[in-house]
Amino acid sequence: MPYYPDMLEKKIEQRLRVMAKKAGGLAIKWVSPGFDGVPDRIVILPGGRIIFVELKRPGAKPTPIQERVIETLRGLGADVRVVDSTGGVDEIFG
């Protein structure tokens, strides 16, 4: 996967929204007051497929609180992805 250090998280998030829409779904911004560290977007696709997506600039990693929330969601059986490139977005829909 190519690495583009100048790619902003905003561009990756834009790609996620576009790809979700093309797939007939939604990429909803998730803000949860009082519950820090939730992933940035909830992607809901046809057939009831739900994916939580934490977006990062290329090479960046989730913060410790984000890691705890990701592990909690995964422990509950949720599909949670950490994406730091447009290629990572494409893998979700591939």
Spell out the domain ranges in the chain. Answer: 9-93
> Which residue reads 């290629």 in tokens?
87
> Residue 6 — very low, low, confident or very high, per pLDDT cuts 50/70/90?
very low
Given a cut of 90, whether residue 44 has pLDDT beyond it is: yes
86-93 vs 9-22: helix crossing angle, rounded to 10:
20
The answer to whether the Cα torsion of 90, 52, 41, 82 is positive or negative is negative
Please name which of 62, 39, 61 lies closest in space to residue 52, comparing C-alpha atoms.
39
Cα–Cα distance for residue pair 17/64, rounded to 1 Å: 26
Q: Which residue has the higher pLDDT, 60 or 2?
A: 60
Given a cut of 90, whether residue 90 has pLDDT beyond it is: yes
Question: What is the assigned CATH class of domain 9-93?
Answer: alpha beta
Given a cut of 70, whether residue 16 has pLDDT beyond it is: yes
- List beta partners, residue 28: 42
Given a cut of 80, whether residue 1 has pLDDT beyond it is: no
Given a cut of 90, whether residue 85 has pLDDT beyond it is: yes
Share of the chain above pLDDT 70, in %: 93
Sequence-distant (6+) residues with CB within 8 A of 38 are: 30, 31, 32, 52, 69
